[in-house]
Homo-oligomer: A and B are copies of this chain.
Protein backbone atom coordinates (compact mmCIF):
# COMPACT_ATOMS: atom_id res chain seq x y z
CA UNK A 1 0.00 0.00 0.00
CA UNK A 2 1.02 3.61 -0.56
CA UNK A 3 1.41 6.24 2.09
CA UNK A 4 -1.26 8.83 2.56
CA UNK A 5 -0.75 12.48 1.64
CA UNK A 6 -2.22 14.32 4.61
CA UNK A 7 -2.65 13.67 8.27
CA UNK A 8 -6.27 13.97 9.46
CA UNK A 9 -9.71 13.03 8.31
CA UNK A 10 -12.45 15.60 8.91
CA UNK A 11 -15.88 14.07 9.32
CA UNK A 12 -19.38 15.36 9.88
CA UNK A 13 -21.27 13.23 12.34
CA UNK A 14 -24.91 13.39 13.35
CA UNK A 15 -25.03 14.98 16.80
CA UNK A 16 -28.79 15.09 17.34
CA UNK A 17 -31.98 14.18 15.53
CA UNK A 18 -33.35 17.41 14.10
CA UNK A 19 -36.85 18.75 14.43
CA UNK A 20 -37.63 20.68 11.27
CA UNK A 21 -34.68 22.00 9.31
CA UNK A 22 -31.35 20.65 10.58
CA UNK A 23 -29.57 23.19 12.78
CA UNK A 24 -25.78 23.59 13.17
CA UNK A 25 -26.03 21.96 16.58
CA UNK A 26 -27.42 18.80 14.97
CA UNK A 27 -23.95 18.18 13.53
CA UNK A 28 -20.53 17.59 14.97
CA UNK A 29 -17.22 18.12 13.19
CA UNK A 30 -14.80 15.37 14.18
CA UNK A 31 -11.14 14.88 13.34
CA UNK A 32 -9.82 11.36 13.07
CA UNK A 33 -6.70 9.77 11.71
CA UNK A 34 -6.80 8.84 8.08
CA UNK A 35 -7.98 5.24 7.99
CA UNK A 36 -5.64 2.43 7.07
CA UNK A 37 -7.12 -0.45 5.12
CA UNK A 38 -7.01 -3.95 6.51
CA UNK A 39 -7.23 -7.16 4.47
CA UNK A 40 -9.92 -6.79 1.78
CA UNK A 41 -10.32 -3.07 2.32
CA UNK A 42 -9.25 0.11 0.61
CA UNK A 43 -9.05 3.78 1.60
CA UNK A 44 -10.39 6.59 -0.57
CA UNK A 45 -9.58 10.27 -0.68
CA UNK A 46 -13.06 11.59 -1.28
CA UNK A 47 -13.25 14.35 -3.88
CA UNK A 48 -17.00 14.99 -4.18
CA UNK A 49 -20.04 14.17 -2.07
CA UNK A 50 -23.66 13.83 -3.12
CA UNK A 51 -26.21 15.99 -1.27
CA UNK A 52 -29.76 14.73 -1.52
CA UNK A 53 -33.16 15.63 -0.07
CA UNK A 54 -33.48 12.03 1.08
CA UNK A 55 -30.73 12.72 3.62
CA UNK A 56 -33.28 14.48 5.74
CA UNK A 57 -35.23 11.25 6.07
CA UNK A 58 -32.15 9.28 7.03
CA UNK A 59 -31.73 11.60 10.02
CA UNK A 60 -35.05 10.55 11.55
CA UNK A 61 -35.40 7.60 13.88
CA UNK A 62 -37.65 4.75 12.86
CA UNK A 63 -38.15 2.28 10.07
CA UNK A 64 -38.01 3.46 6.51
CA UNK A 65 -36.68 2.03 3.25
CA UNK A 66 -33.20 2.30 4.76
CA UNK A 67 -31.91 2.30 8.34
CA UNK A 68 -31.58 5.70 9.95
CA UNK A 69 -28.18 7.24 10.54
CA UNK A 70 -27.50 6.79 14.23
CA UNK A 71 -26.60 9.73 16.40
CA UNK A 72 -22.81 9.77 16.61
CA UNK A 73 -22.31 8.15 13.21
CA UNK A 74 -20.68 9.79 10.22
CA UNK A 75 -23.49 11.20 8.07
CA UNK A 76 -24.33 8.82 5.24
CA UNK A 77 -23.58 10.11 1.75
CA UNK A 78 -22.58 8.80 -1.62
CA UNK A 79 -19.25 10.07 -2.86
CA UNK A 80 -16.57 9.69 -5.46
CA UNK A 81 -12.84 9.78 -5.01
CA UNK A 82 -9.57 8.08 -5.62
CA UNK A 83 -8.10 5.05 -3.91
CA UNK A 84 -5.05 6.03 -1.84
CA UNK A 85 -4.32 2.74 -0.16
CA UNK A 86 -5.59 -0.72 -0.88
CA UNK A 87 -5.62 -4.27 0.38
CA UNK A 88 -8.49 -5.07 -2.02
CA UNK A 89 -7.62 -6.57 -5.42
CA UNK A 90 -10.66 -5.02 -7.12
CA UNK A 91 -9.89 -1.45 -6.13
CA UNK A 92 -6.22 -0.67 -6.72
CA UNK A 93 -4.43 2.51 -5.66
CA UNK A 94 -5.18 5.44 -7.97
CA UNK A 95 -8.44 3.91 -9.18
CA UNK A 96 -11.45 6.21 -9.27
CA UNK A 97 -14.33 4.87 -7.28
CA UNK A 98 -17.94 5.59 -6.35
CA UNK A 99 -19.32 4.44 -3.00
CA UNK A 100 -21.22 5.15 0.16
CA UNK A 101 -18.35 7.07 1.73
CA UNK A 102 -20.16 9.42 4.13
CA UNK A 103 -19.48 13.08 4.83
CA UNK A 104 -15.74 12.83 5.38
CA UNK A 105 -12.49 13.44 3.60
CA UNK A 106 -11.23 9.88 3.71
CA UNK A 107 -13.26 6.72 3.76
CA UNK A 108 -12.57 3.05 4.28
CA UNK A 109 -14.47 0.54 2.16
CA UNK A 110 -14.64 -3.22 1.84
CA UNK A 111 -15.92 -2.79 -1.70
CA UNK A 112 -19.57 -3.39 -0.89
CA UNK A 113 -21.64 -0.95 -2.93
CA UNK A 114 -18.49 0.53 -4.44
CA UNK A 115 -17.96 0.81 -8.18
CA UNK A 116 -14.98 1.68 -10.33
CA UNK A 117 -15.71 4.74 -12.46
CA UNK A 118 -14.02 6.24 -15.47
CA UNK A 119 -13.40 10.01 -15.43
CA UNK A 120 -12.72 9.99 -19.17
CA UNK A 121 -16.38 9.12 -19.85
CA UNK A 122 -17.81 11.85 -17.62
CA UNK A 123 -16.52 14.20 -14.92
CA UNK A 124 -16.48 12.67 -11.45
CA UNK A 125 -19.46 14.67 -10.09
CA UNK A 126 -21.64 13.31 -12.90
CA UNK A 127 -21.29 9.88 -11.30
CA UNK A 128 -23.10 11.31 -8.28
CA UNK A 129 -25.89 12.74 -10.40
CA UNK A 130 -26.98 11.81 -13.87
CA UNK A 131 -24.85 8.66 -14.00
CA UNK A 132 -25.51 7.93 -10.33
CA UNK A 133 -28.52 7.39 -8.14
CA UNK A 134 -30.35 10.51 -9.27
CA UNK A 135 -30.09 9.49 -12.91
CA UNK A 136 -31.17 5.96 -12.04
CA UNK A 137 -34.11 7.34 -10.08
CA UNK A 138 -35.20 9.46 -13.00
CA UNK A 139 -34.80 6.64 -15.51
CA UNK A 140 -36.60 3.87 -13.63
CA UNK A 141 -39.14 6.16 -12.03
CA UNK A 142 -40.26 7.55 -15.34
CA UNK A 143 -40.00 4.49 -17.55
CA UNK A 144 -40.77 1.62 -15.16
CA UNK A 145 -42.87 2.98 -12.31
CA UNK A 146 -44.47 5.71 -14.41
CA UNK A 147 -44.67 3.44 -17.47
CA UNK A 148 -44.30 6.42 -19.78
CA UNK A 149 -45.50 5.81 -23.32
CA UNK A 150 -44.81 7.78 -26.48
CA UNK A 151 -47.10 10.77 -26.77
CA UNK A 152 -47.75 11.04 -23.03
CA UNK A 153 -47.96 14.35 -21.26
CA UNK A 154 -45.34 14.19 -18.49
CA UNK A 155 -45.27 16.68 -15.64
CA UNK A 156 -42.43 16.72 -13.12
CA UNK A 157 -42.07 18.74 -9.94
CA UNK A 158 -38.72 19.75 -8.53
CA UNK A 159 -37.97 19.97 -12.23
CA UNK A 160 -34.74 21.93 -11.92
CA UNK A 161 -33.40 19.54 -9.32
CA UNK A 162 -31.10 16.61 -9.84
CA UNK A 163 -33.81 14.03 -10.51
CA UNK A 164 -36.43 16.28 -12.09
CA UNK A 165 -34.14 17.77 -14.70
CA UNK A 166 -33.21 14.30 -15.89
CA UNK A 167 -36.80 13.02 -15.80
CA UNK A 168 -37.91 15.74 -18.21
CA UNK A 169 -35.04 15.17 -20.58
CA UNK A 170 -35.47 11.40 -20.66
CA UNK A 171 -39.18 11.94 -21.29
CA UNK A 172 -38.39 14.04 -24.36
CA UNK A 173 -35.81 11.53 -25.59
CA UNK A 174 -38.30 8.68 -25.18
CA UNK A 175 -41.01 10.45 -27.16
CA UNK A 176 -43.28 12.12 -24.61
CA UNK A 177 -45.84 14.28 -26.35
CA UNK A 178 -45.39 17.11 -23.91
CA UNK A 179 -43.08 17.70 -20.95
CA UNK A 180 -43.87 20.27 -18.30
CA UNK A 181 -41.60 21.18 -15.40
CA UNK A 182 -42.65 22.79 -12.14
CA UNK A 183 -39.88 24.72 -10.44
CA UNK A 184 -39.33 27.75 -8.23
CA UNK A 185 -38.16 30.92 -9.95
CA UNK A 186 -37.86 32.41 -13.41
CA UNK A 187 -34.22 31.41 -13.83
CA UNK A 188 -34.94 27.74 -13.27
CA UNK A 189 -37.95 27.86 -15.58
CA UNK A 190 -35.97 29.56 -18.31
CA UNK A 191 -33.26 26.91 -18.01
CA UNK A 192 -35.79 24.07 -18.29
CA UNK A 193 -37.37 25.39 -21.45
CA UNK A 194 -34.47 27.06 -23.21
CA UNK A 195 -31.65 24.72 -22.38
CA UNK A 196 -33.20 21.38 -21.50
CA UNK A 197 -35.99 21.47 -24.07
CA UNK A 198 -38.99 21.18 -21.76
CA UNK A 199 -42.17 22.25 -23.57
CA UNK A 200 -43.28 24.44 -20.69
CA UNK A 201 -42.31 25.35 -17.17
CA UNK A 202 -44.44 26.60 -14.30
CA UNK A 203 -42.91 28.86 -11.67
CA UNK A 204 -44.72 27.79 -8.53
CA UNK A 205 -43.47 30.85 -6.69
CA UNK A 206 -45.13 33.19 -9.17
CA UNK A 207 -48.06 31.18 -10.56
CA UNK A 208 -51.09 29.28 -9.33
CA UNK A 209 -49.93 25.79 -10.30
CA UNK A 210 -53.45 24.45 -10.60
CA UNK A 211 -54.46 27.14 -13.06
CA UNK A 212 -51.15 27.06 -14.89
CA UNK A 213 -51.47 23.32 -15.49
CA UNK A 214 -54.66 23.93 -17.46
CA UNK A 215 -52.65 25.81 -20.04
CA UNK A 216 -49.42 23.89 -19.75
CA UNK A 217 -51.01 20.44 -19.89
CA UNK A 218 -54.08 20.93 -22.09
CA UNK A 219 -54.49 17.19 -22.68
CA UNK A 220 -54.12 16.55 -18.95
CA UNK A 221 -51.34 14.58 -17.27
CA UNK A 222 -50.45 10.98 -18.11
CA UNK A 223 -47.39 10.74 -15.88
CA UNK A 224 -46.81 12.99 -12.91
CA UNK A 225 -43.39 12.52 -11.33
CA UNK A 226 -43.51 13.99 -7.85
CA UNK A 227 -40.46 15.10 -5.93
CA UNK A 228 -42.12 17.66 -3.70
CA UNK A 229 -45.53 16.67 -2.28
CA UNK A 230 -47.71 19.27 -0.59
CA UNK A 231 -49.71 21.79 -2.58
CA UNK A 232 -48.07 20.98 -5.88
CA UNK A 233 -49.04 17.32 -5.65
CA UNK A 234 -52.57 18.42 -4.88
CA UNK A 235 -52.58 20.71 -7.89
CA UNK A 236 -51.38 17.93 -10.19
CA UNK A 237 -54.11 15.64 -8.88
CA UNK A 238 -56.71 18.01 -10.34
CA UNK A 239 -55.35 17.56 -13.88
CA UNK A 240 -54.96 13.81 -14.27
CA UNK A 241 -55.81 12.09 -17.52
CA UNK A 242 -57.72 8.83 -17.41
CA UNK A 243 -55.34 6.10 -16.26
CA UNK A 244 -52.64 8.54 -15.14
CA UNK A 245 -49.63 7.28 -13.19
CA UNK A 246 -48.21 9.31 -10.34
CA UNK A 247 -44.69 8.41 -9.30
CA UNK A 248 -43.96 9.24 -5.66
CA UNK A 249 -40.22 9.76 -5.63
CA UNK A 250 -39.99 12.21 -2.76
CA UNK A 251 -41.67 15.04 -0.93
CA UNK A 252 -39.07 17.69 -0.30
CA UNK A 253 -41.71 20.20 0.78
CA UNK A 254 -42.65 17.89 3.65
CA UNK A 255 -39.36 16.51 4.95
CA UNK A 256 -38.90 19.27 7.51
CA UNK A 257 -42.56 19.53 8.51
CA UNK A 258 -42.82 19.71 12.28
CA UNK A 259 -46.59 19.43 12.42
CA UNK A 260 -47.01 16.30 10.37
CA UNK A 261 -46.99 15.64 6.67
CA UNK A 262 -49.75 17.21 4.59
CA UNK A 263 -51.60 14.43 2.82
CA UNK A 264 -52.90 14.97 -0.71
CA UNK A 265 -56.45 16.19 -0.10
CA UNK A 266 -57.31 15.63 -3.77
CA UNK A 267 -56.42 11.95 -3.69
CA UNK A 268 -59.95 10.98 -4.69
CA UNK A 269 -59.00 12.18 -8.16
CA UNK A 270 -57.30 8.81 -8.36
CA UNK A 271 -60.77 7.29 -8.36
CA UNK A 272 -62.31 9.73 -10.82
CA UNK A 273 -59.35 9.29 -13.19
CA UNK A 274 -58.72 5.59 -12.55
CA UNK A 275 -55.21 6.70 -11.75
CA UNK A 276 -52.48 5.24 -9.60
CA UNK A 277 -49.93 6.66 -7.21
CA UNK A 278 -46.90 4.46 -6.68
CA UNK A 279 -43.90 4.86 -4.45
CA UNK A 280 -40.42 3.98 -5.63
CA UNK A 281 -37.02 3.32 -4.13
CA UNK A 282 -34.25 3.32 -6.69
CA UNK A 283 -32.25 0.51 -5.08
CA UNK A 284 -34.87 -1.99 -6.23
CA UNK A 285 -33.63 -1.49 -9.77
CA UNK A 286 -29.96 -2.18 -8.98
CA UNK A 287 -29.70 -5.19 -11.31
CA UNK A 288 -30.43 -2.85 -14.23
CA UNK A 289 -28.30 0.13 -13.20
CA UNK A 290 -25.50 -0.73 -15.59
CA UNK A 291 -27.80 -0.91 -18.59
CA UNK A 292 -29.46 2.39 -17.69
CA UNK A 293 -26.17 4.15 -17.04
CA UNK A 294 -24.85 3.02 -20.39
CA UNK A 295 -27.93 4.41 -22.12
CA UNK A 296 -27.71 7.70 -20.21
CA UNK A 297 -23.98 8.02 -20.91
CA UNK A 298 -24.79 7.71 -24.60
CA UNK A 299 -27.29 10.55 -24.37
CA UNK A 300 -24.77 12.72 -22.53
CA UNK A 301 -22.15 11.93 -25.16
CA UNK A 302 -24.35 12.77 -28.12
CA UNK A 303 -25.62 15.95 -26.48
CA UNK A 304 -29.24 14.91 -26.15
CA UNK A 305 -29.10 15.03 -22.35
CA UNK A 306 -27.51 17.80 -20.34
CA UNK A 307 -26.11 16.87 -16.95
CA UNK A 308 -25.73 19.81 -14.64
CA UNK A 309 -24.10 19.77 -11.27
CA UNK A 310 -24.23 22.59 -8.78
CA UNK A 311 -20.82 22.17 -7.18
CA UNK A 312 -20.26 23.89 -3.86
CA UNK A 313 -16.67 24.39 -2.67
CA UNK A 314 -15.76 24.42 0.96
CA UNK A 315 -15.13 20.87 2.00
CA UNK A 316 -16.95 18.79 4.55
CA UNK A 317 -17.21 21.68 7.03
CA UNK A 318 -19.55 23.38 4.55
CA UNK A 319 -21.91 20.40 4.59
CA UNK A 320 -24.45 21.60 7.20
CA UNK A 321 -25.21 24.88 5.47
CA UNK A 322 -24.94 23.45 1.95
CA UNK A 323 -27.54 20.78 2.70
CA UNK A 324 -30.04 23.52 3.47
CA UNK A 325 -29.82 24.76 -0.12
CA UNK A 326 -31.89 21.73 -1.12
CA UNK A 327 -34.76 22.68 1.15
CA UNK A 328 -34.58 26.32 0.15
CA UNK A 329 -34.65 25.25 -3.50
CA UNK A 330 -31.42 27.09 -4.20
CA UNK A 331 -29.68 24.49 -6.33
CA UNK A 332 -30.07 23.94 -10.03
CA UNK A 333 -29.21 20.41 -11.05
CA UNK A 334 -27.39 18.01 -8.81
CA UNK A 335 -26.06 19.51 -5.58
CA UNK A 336 -22.49 18.30 -5.02
CA UNK A 337 -20.07 19.24 -2.27
CA UNK A 338 -16.46 19.44 -3.32
CA UNK A 339 -14.22 18.06 -0.60
Which A residues are within 8 Å of any B CB, using their own CB? 63-65, 229, 234, 248-251, 254, 260-281, 284
Q: Would you give 19 A-B contacts (Cβ < 8 Å), ordered by A? A: A64-B272, A65-B274, A229-B268, A248-B267, A248-B271, A262-B265, A264-B264, A264-B267, A267-B267, A267-B277, A270-B278, A270-B279, A271-B279, A271-B280, A272-B281, A274-B279, A275-B278, A276-B277, A277-B277
User: Top 9 A-B pairs ranked by shortest CB distance?
Assistant: A263-B263, A271-B279, A270-B279, A263-B265, A276-B278, A263-B264, A277-B277, A65-B272, A261-B265
Number of copies: 2
Question: A248 contacts B270, CB within 8 Å?
Answer: yes
Rounded to whole angstroms, the CA-CA distance of A63 and B234 in the bound complex is 17
Distance between Cα atoms of A275 and B264 in the complex (Å): 16
Whole-angstrom CA separation of A251 from B266 in the bound complex: 12
Chain B residues with Cβ below 8 Å from A273 are 279
* B250 engages A234 (CB within 8 Å): no
Cβ contact of A268, chosen from B63, B251, B267, B278, cutoff 8 A: B251
- Give every chain B residue within 8 A of A284 (Cβ-Cβ): 274
Say yes or no: A249 contacts B267, CB within 8 Å: no
Q: Is the CB of B263 within 8 A of A272?
A: no
Q: Chain A interface secondary structure, helix, strand, loop or mixed?
A: loop
**Nearest CB of B to A139, in Å:** 16
Using CB atoms, name the residue of chain B closest to A246.
B277
Whether the pair B276, A281 counts as a contact (CB closer than 8 A) is: no
A266 touching B268 by the CB < 8 A rule?
no
CB of B272 within 8 A of CB of A280, answer no
Q: Which residues of B contact A229 (CB under 8 A)?
A: 268
Interfacial chain B residues near A275, Cβ < 8 Å: 278-279
Complex Cα distance A8/B264, Å? 48
- Give the residue name and chain of the B residue nearest to A234 (CB): B263
Find chain B residues with CB under 8 A from A264 CB: 263-264, 267
Which chain B residue has the least Cβ–Cβ distance from A251?
B268
**Interchain CB contact under 8 A, B263 and A267:** yes
What is the distance, in angstroms, from A239's C-beta to the closest C-beta of chain B?
12
Query: How many Å lie between the Cα of A49 and that of B261 in the bound state?
Result: 42
Q: How far is the CA of A46 from the CA of B162 in the complex (A)?
A: 61
Contacts of A272 in B (CB 8 A): 63-65, 279, 281
Residue of B with least CB distance to A249: B271
